[in-house]
Structure 1
Amino acid sequence: MRRSALVLAFAAACGSPVAAPPATLLGRAVLPAGTFAAGPASGERLGSGPIHGQAVPFASQPVQGFSALLANDDGTYLGLVDNGYGKIENSADFHLRVYTLRLDLRTAAGGSGGVEVLGQIELRDPDRKIGFPIVQQFSDARVLTGADFDPESMQRAPDGTLWFGDEFGPFLLHTAADGVVLEPPIGLPDLDRPGLELRAPQNPNNEEGAALRLMNAVAWRGRQRGAIRPPVFSPHHAMVKDEAPGEDGRELFAIDSLRAAGFPVVVWTVNEVARMHALMRLGVDGIISDRPDLLYQAARSFDGDGDGVSDFVDADGLVRRERIDLQGHRGARDLRPENTLPAMEAALDQLMTTLETDVVLTADDVPVLGHDLELDARKCRDVEGGARRVRALTIAALQRRFVCDGLVRGAEQANDRTLSPVVVAFASAEGLADPYTPPTLAQWLGFVAAYGDYYAAGPGAGHPEAARRAANARRVRLSVETKLTPDDPFAAVFAERVSAAIVAAGATERAWVQSFDYRTLLQVQDRAPALGTVFLLADGTNLPVLGGAPSRWLAGLGWPHGVTARTQPLAVATSGGFEGMALRSSPPALLPILEKPIVGAPAGEVWIHEYDLSQRTYTERRWRHRLEAGAVAVTDFQLDADGRGFVIERDDSEGELGDAFKKVVRTITLAAPGATVEAGARVDLLRIADPHSLAPASAGDVGVGGGVFAMPFVTIESLVLLPQGRMLVGNDNNLPFSVGRHRGDGRPDDQEFVLLQVSPR
């Protein structure tokens, strides 16, 4: 006896066992994995070698990763790509698009089984509706990328505009039919805690998720100007997430994410060996210290792999700078007076891989070493008297009047000239009045070269450390920090003079300019893109204290001041956002469903929320959906004309049949808010009848041939409900990673679209 969908739903509601209806393959179309569209190169963060036989990076934009489908009136479909390569860290060069597709399904009546790509819609934000930094922040078009959003679901509203469900926020994203963003992304309110949202770790409105967004924006800008080196992220060390976080709530940034995105992480300022070792275990790329002697000691004694050999210092005693960067802060601030040539000599004696210094501008626009805009009387003696503001002094007056040998940092600091033989010789040759005369940036660069000469073939050649010191000085890196105030109008002049001095010294390839003032660093990108840039970050400097006004030093880049996981918890799982989103026609509403349970929710329970399209707001209505045994996630959610829901549920298997779980689960009509949605009929996507051999056997392929068809993909994410009990189902092929079908030869999955008959006609 034929049973209607109503009978099936009623039986499910009453708890009666319901056998899965037979699903029959009516048609199949395949878009090959190697399908590309016009656009810039993509997949840089995938590496340089083939993955499953697919060469990476790609020369243009791959047409892949469909996570949602919409039927058009003309028989074509809109196909939404997700964030690109599966992670926020590796998808900054993947453009978010919706492609128009024509499927020529292979059916019993014919058809090629091919897919034609007819056009594309590029998601973009030219009107700057998005308030947080995006990758193309500094462009006019502001094309959205897979490091900005991870769109997984899509619906067309009655007015023709498009709505997307995102996983990174999770957000609702609203665009015009041509892909232009119409309003700011809409966060998901936490119904249990008014005033808060349900947020994922990648949410840019928490400080934890903000650093990567900021660095993506400045990196993209630099590349457009010819920059080759990635910018460096340099936070205070207490802002790095530690295995033993403190109580101040500032352990914000997971360095693994930043490094995976290609951004070196160099932390400052660390003067205790135990903390240095802790940061080395975390995998930082560099450490800045006032005590180069202790920093070298920490590197030499660090044996993370337990093989009895230092991880960071080679047999010759030189630091393996490809593994870690050891930076002498202001030279060797706690060993000699800061930002002086003797401080630099002390840092070089300790084999630092980078010398770090501050510079300020004189009245005649000469960069000179120094941290203070007005010379501190405790640090710098004035032999004549008068103004002490550096910007009011010419370089001649500055070097004539001041000797900066003040001891202010404790017992280890010394200014004995006999401890600095290279500086004594250099100062005499340069005509400097004293080894502690404030040097210009050009003189500092010259001194570094002179140091190498001194130990290579000069008076220091007989020193027992001569060979090491000479070799290290020849390769030492140089980091120059600009010092100015947020109101200073001469950031461009500063950048020009600093860049020119470094270029003139032939030090471009091993020099970086760093600053808390991002305006200066953007000016460096414009003037000398071959120079490296280092973006410093700290509360009370370029990040205002909680409640303070935004700093001009951030160059217009937004930052969620003081919003951390302690004040705004991150309860949504990574890759647990709006994978599915149904559209209800009356009253019009979006029904986004979370892919996975949130933190604290019962195991296997995912939530459906309601967004009222008429009122443009979330309601307080919510439903609970219980995952089937064996499923770990919901990957799509749609309503049929009678208001019944259909969800795709899956496990994490790939290329497996047997006990794997990939099903479409039909649910009864949504009941009262708060109720658990009951499951009804199930369509097993791994056991589909193929009586017409529309998917014939192919050597090494899984799930084809023998009259039974399967979709053995890790992700099956697109569902379109069609009349007469049919549905169109599509996989996200996760190019180039997933190999669910072609297990024999290891080729990456294609994008497959299958038409199923799932209920009686």
Structure 2
Amino acid sequence: MRRALVLAFACACGGPVPGPPATLVGRAVLPAATFAPGPPSGARLGPAPIHGQQAPFGSQPVQGFSALVANGDGTYLALADNGYGKIENSADFHLRVYTLRIDSRTANGGSGAVEVVGYFELRDPERKVGFPIVQQFSDARVLTGADFDPESMQRAPDGTLWFGDEFGPFLLHTSADGALLEPPIASPDVAQPGLPLRSPQSPDYEENAALRLMNAVGWRAAQRGATRPPVVSPHHAMVVDDAPVELGRELFDVNSLRAAGFPVVVWTVNEVARIHALMRLGVDGILSDRPDLLYQAARSFDGDGDGLPELIGADGLVRRDKIDLQGHRGARDLRPENTLPAMEAALDELVTTLETDVVLTADDVPVLGHDPALDVHKCRDTLGGEVPRQVRALTAAELQRRFVCDGLVRGPEQTHDRALSPVAVAFAAAEGLADPYTPPTLAQWLRFVAAYADHYATGTGASHPEAARRAANARQVRFSVETKLTPEDAFAARFAERVSGAIVAAGVTERAWVQSFDFRTLLQVQDRAPAIGTVFLLADGVNLPRGPWERRPWLAGLAWTRGVTKQTEPPQVASSGGFEGMALQSSPPALLPMLEKPVAGAPAGEVWVFEYDLSQRTYTDRRWIHRLEPRAAAAADFQLDAGGRGFVIERDDSEGELGGFKAVRALELGAAGATSRAVTQVDLLAIADPHGLAPAVAGDVGVGEGRFAMPFVTIESLVLLPQDRMLVANDNNLPFSVGRHRGDGRPDDEEFVVLQLPPR
């Protein structure tokens, strides 16, 4: 039978705490700029300093504590928050638990310093997490702030640790030193039995799969020395935008992926209106079968409304720092695809990247072509043999001796008139090719681009009115090479070796990308030639799975959830509204995680408290409702004392204001179904400081004159101490929060405050 307990507040007026204030009896400060060993962090915070802090940091910042647990020996475990506040900017922030020794300044002495004794990292060495994590491809599998957002922590009677997370929201169970012991535990949705509660960042959502996948392959590439982030390339109808829903399943959030550092290049778009819409969305690149329309769209695009085209420079070339315009298979709607004339047509239209497909011949030579078998509609055997033939069954010499691929299959604009391709005709003759439409090798394709530039710079094309522009563009044009494989092909490593080898031999590694729907090939390229960029192609009907959490060969063993989207099952938990607080009940042993904010559809100010039975390893059907004080926006921590009395930190969203609301409220967990009262026990903005433990500092808020305040936007750690004392600490959100040092704008330090509660 389900039982519910309603926790109500006593002072409906929301006024000041009746009676005397709490007294400051101890204070210690950990400076904001405190760092611990580890890899650089904060790369996605941007180039400009934030409150005097320059990112990226050279190591891991010791910051953002969201929970404390006493060790019983005078030290505390301190849980670092998820990093920098967002899933997109925290992939290089390691989730850690630090051991701190706090020497509070008191009336009887004390340094007021905090010593960082050591730390351990949360990690998943036994692969309990079923979705991709940032360090998916490492042995240690250290967890990061892009994997989980742990906000609360408790030590169970058996010594293991439990964490409340906001991204799921999940419960995470680890060993005493941080190794995950079981898969993340989802919280049940009371309103929809059998379904979990989900936040907007939940890995269950298909919209979040691409970011998690790209985080994994991006970390892997960086470990191998890659300096360019991998590119994510979805079909254009699958990006989240204002287009009609019937255009496609919208799974790829361009803003989120770009904020995380992954360029987004969409394919394949042949209408100017749609190209303009994608440009307004902010994509990094667009593939088109009509590079002439691409350039036309770039010339006419006026995103800021000033009447000037911002994508074309004064020299008439596309601004590569703004957008990448790619000729798909050259210019396949203007010339037969993946041929030298198709590439010439694309270069004539000043594309910034030439895109092509390659397949392997019997002698492992990569040649241009989209299909494993030659298509009778596209290619003809000049010796009268049968078509189609498997390219893999032909040597490169046989392929070029026998076949010409000049079939017209794409509409009225497509032509194979050799007179329109003077560079291809001349190059084919110089290379000994029977026809400009003979399938070229990858090496020949790369040489052709150099020959095109020479043709217009110093050759017979130098007198052409567009000669200078064409030559300049070809000198810097980029190359995108798609490997064509099927899941059954067992030569991904050889394919990667041959393609990357040709690119390196041509000396164009810094201008080249390899792209594929088959991620096995791309990981091999990362291993063999990390200087070459990688592009991860994704689309329904190709490499995305058909079932939930299906792993497909083309995804290199990475999982992709399927079928649950934010449209089909909207998130119930608010962003940053998960398990911020979590109390430990001693008898019977249970965790009581509390949501930070109301769920969707709940009355304003109502947050849920759950019960997780530690003995049975399951959620019970017991639920409680805690009603926040009217001025509060969130519940920031929740603890129980030995007698079962609860204490909750509540806060508004103010910062640096003494007129805001920051408080500790006391509540009683009574019998099931009873209505309990919650009263404001401590006003954290009106604390007595008779011993002068927080002397006045010019420009600082809330110190001096015998009074003390915690004017921080987030105060998230509460430890109940003997003799009616409590330890309260802020999360300083380095480098963002400035609640104390308003005068000089320095970021908040971590402050650890011991309060003596007033008599009950």
Q: Do they fold alike, i.e. is TM over 0.5? A: yes
How far apart in 1 are the matches of 2:9 and 2:541? Answer: 63
Q: 1:309 to 1:270 in 2, by over 3 A?
A: same
- How far 1:672 sits from its partner (Å)? 3.2
Residues 302, 312 of structure 1: 8 Å contact kept: yes
SS at match of 2:304: coil
**Equivalent residue letter for 1:433:** A
How far apart in 1 are the matches of 2:550 and 2:687? Answer: 60
- How far 1:122 sits from its partner (Å)? 1.1
SS at match of 1:526: helix
TM-score, normalisation: structure 1: 0.96
Aligned partner of 1:530 in structure 2 is 531
- How far 1:476 sits from its partner (Å)? 0.6
What are the within-5 Å matches in structure 2 for residues 215-254 of structure 1?
215-247=214-246, 250-254=249-253
Aligned partner of 2:466 in structure 1 is 465
Aligned partner of 1:131 in structure 2 is 130
SS at match of 1:99: strand
**Equivalent residue letter for 1:12:** A
Aligned partner of 1:498 in structure 2 is 499
- The answer to which of 241-250 and 560-569 deviates more is 241-250
Deviations 1:332-386 (A, max 9, x none): 1111111111111111111111000000000000000000000110011112214
Aligned partner of 2:593 in structure 1 is 592
Aligned partner of 1:433 in structure 2 is 434
- How far 1:10 sits from its partner (Å)? 11
Residues 289, 331 of structure 2: 8 Å contact kept: yes
Residues 75, 101 of structure 2: 8 Å contact kept: yes
Aligned partner of 2:450 in structure 1 is 449
**Equivalent residue letter for 2:688:** A
- The answer to which of 662-671 and 107-116 deviates more is 662-671
What are the within-5 Å matches in structure 2 for residues 222-621 of structure 1?
222-247=221-246, 250-384=249-383, 385-386=385-386, 388-546=389-547, 550-621=551-622
How far apart in 1 are the matches of 2:403 and 2:753? Answer: 80
Residues 30, 114 of structure 1: 8 Å contact kept: yes
Aligned partner of 2:3 in structure 1 is none
Residues 671, 677 of structure 1: 8 Å contact kept: no
SS at match of 2:581: strand
How far apart in 1 are the matches of 2:161 and 2:545? Answer: 37
How far apart in 2 are the matches of 1:468 and 1:670? Answer: 79
How far apart in 2 are the matches of 1:242 and 1:218? Answer: 25
Q: 1:395 to 1:448 in 2, by over 3 A?
A: same
Residues 198, 573 of structure 2: 8 Å contact kept: yes
How far apart in 2 are the matches of 1:201 and 1:757? Answer: 39
Q: 1:14 to 1:338 in 2, by over 3 A?
A: closer
Aligned partner of 1:3 in structure 2 is none
- How far 1:575 sits from its partner (Å)? 1.1
- How far 1:452 sits from its partner (Å)? 0.8
SS at match of 1:198: coil
Residues 595, 635 of structure 1: 8 Å contact kept: yes
**Equivalent residue letter for 1:608:** V
SS at match of 1:562: coil
- How far 1:226 sits from its partner (Å)? 0.6
How far apart in 1 are the matches of 2:360 and 2:61? Answer: 49
**Equivalent residue letter for 2:281:** L
Residues 644, 669 of structure 2: 8 Å contact kept: yes
- How far 1:684 sits from its partner (Å)? 0.9
How far apart in 1 are the matches of 2:117 and 2:180? Answer: 22
How far apart in 2 are the matches of 1:50 and 1:25? Answer: 34
Aligned partner of 1:28 in structure 2 is 27
How far apart in 2 are the matches of 1:10 and 1:442? Answer: 74
Asked if 1:699 is matched to 2:714, the reply is no
How far apart in 2 are the matches of 1:80 and 1:382? Answer: 69
Percentage of matched positions with identical amino acids: 79
SS at match of 1:593: strand
How far apart in 1 are the matches of 2:411 and 2:719? Answer: 72
- How far 1:309 sits from its partner (Å)? 0.6
Q: 1:736 to 1:601 in 2, by over 3 A?
A: same
Aligned partner of 1:122 in structure 2 is 121
**Equivalent residue letter for 2:604:** A
- How far 1:561 sits from its partner (Å)? 2.0
- How far 1:717 sits from its partner (Å)? 0.4
- How far 1:209 sits from its partner (Å)? 1.1
- How far 1:548 sits from its partner (Å)? 9.8
Q: 1:329 to 1:16 in 2, by over 3 A?
A: closer
How far apart in 1 are the matches of 2:685 and 2:323? Answer: 49
How far apart in 1 are the matches of 2:372 and 2:571? Answer: 41
**Equivalent residue letter for 1:376:** D
How far apart in 2 are the matches of 1:721 and 1:550? Answer: 46
Gaps of 5+ in 1: 1-8
Aligned partner of 2:4 in structure 1 is none
How far apart in 2 are the matches of 1:118 and 1:547? Answer: 44
Residues 548, 560 of structure 2: 8 Å contact kept: no
How far apart in 2 are the matches of 1:179 and 1:22? Answer: 38
Aligned partner of 1:61 in structure 2 is 60
- How far 1:23 sits from its partner (Å)? 0.8
Asked if 1:168 is matched to 2:174, the reply is no
**Equivalent residue letter for 1:642:** G
Aligned partner of 1:5 in structure 2 is none
Aligned partner of 1:12 in structure 2 is 10
Aligned partner of 1:760 in structure 2 is 759
How far apart in 2 are the matches of 1:670 and 1:350? Answer: 75
How far apart in 2 are the matches of 1:739 and 1:14? Answer: 31
Aligned partner of 2:103 in structure 1 is 104
- How far 1:32 sits from its partner (Å)? 0.8
Deviations 1:416-455 (A, max 9, x none): 1111111111111111111100000000001111111111
Deviations 1:628-678 (A, max 9, x none): 1221111111112222221111111111112x11111112325536x7764
SS at match of 1:277: helix
How far apart in 2 are the matches of 1:644 and 1:238? Answer: 54
Gaps of 5+ in 2: 1-6
- How far 1:11 sits from its partner (Å)? 9.9
How far apart in 2 are the matches of 1:11 and 1:255? Answer: 43
SS at match of 1:197: coil
What are the within-5 Å matches in structure 2 for residues 37-56 of structure 1?
37-56=36-55
How far apart in 1 are the matches of 2:118 and 2:424? Answer: 66
TM-score, normalisation: structure 2: 0.96
How far apart in 1 are the matches of 2:553 and 2:490? Answer: 11
Asked if 1:662 is matched to 2:662, the reply is yes
How far apart in 1 are the matches of 2:102 and 2:579? Answer: 26
Asked if 1:644 is matched to 2:642, the reply is no
Q: 1:150 to 1:344 in 2, by over 3 A?
A: same
SS at match of 1:189: coil
Aligned partner of 2:200 in structure 1 is 201
Q: 1:314 to 1:676 in 2, by over 3 A?
A: farther
- How far 1:73 sits from its partner (Å)? 1.4
- The answer to which of 51-60 and 408-417 deviates more is 51-60
How far apart in 2 are the matches of 1:343 and 1:254? Answer: 32
How far apart in 1 are the matches of 2:393 and 2:350? Answer: 36
Residues 163, 175 of structure 1: 8 Å contact kept: yes
How far apart in 1 are the matches of 2:159 and 2:492? Answer: 47
Residues 478, 510 of structure 1: 8 Å contact kept: yes
Q: 1:472 to 1:678 in 2, by over 3 A?
A: farther
Q: 1:481 to 1:397 in 2, by over 3 A?
A: same
- How far 1:245 sits from its partner (Å)? 4.5
Deviations 1:480-517 (A, max 9, x none): 00001111111000000000100111111100000011
- How far 1:51 sits from its partner (Å)? 2.1
Residues 245, 251 of structure 1: 8 Å contact kept: no
Q: CA RMSD in A?
A: 1.9
Asked if 1:628 is matched to 2:626, the reply is no
- How far 1:323 sits from its partner (Å)? 0.6
Q: 1:199 to 1:463 in 2, by over 3 A?
A: same
Residues 23, 688 of structure 1: 8 Å contact kept: yes
How far apart in 1 are the matches of 2:716 and 2:14? Answer: 29
Asked if 1:145 is matched to 2:167, the reply is no
Q: 1:20 to 1:331 in 2, by over 3 A?
A: farther
Q: 1:60 to 1:14 in 2, by over 3 A?
A: closer
